[in-house]
Amino acid sequence: MYKPQNGNLLGNLLVVAGGLLDGIKALLDPVINDLLSPLLDPLLNSLLKGLGIDLNYVEVGANLTCSNRAQLVL
């Protein structure tokens, strides 16, 4: 984490606040991953599938013509 070079009060307060937020995040990450992820992942996947959105699929091709140069097509 960033620490100010000249130890002023505001910089030190920001360092302490950042440390507290990092600690809270470290405590909540396993809870979110273990409890909420199995519940929300299937719901979001079915919602995205129903909307026709696929996050893993990208088709890359090329548009070739005799008169122009090649163009990348996504």
Instruction: With 0.75 as the threshold, say if the pTM is over it.
Output: no
Instruction: Give 47 or 3, the one with higher predicted confidence.
Output: 47
Contacts of 46 (CB under 8 A, 6+ apart): none
Is the pLDDT score of 74 beyond 60?
A: no
Domain ranges for the chain, please list them: 9-73
Q: How confident is the model at residue 27 (pLDDT cuts 50, 70, 90)?
A: very high
Distance CA 20, CA 1 (A): 12
Residue 9 has pLDDT above 90, yes or no: no
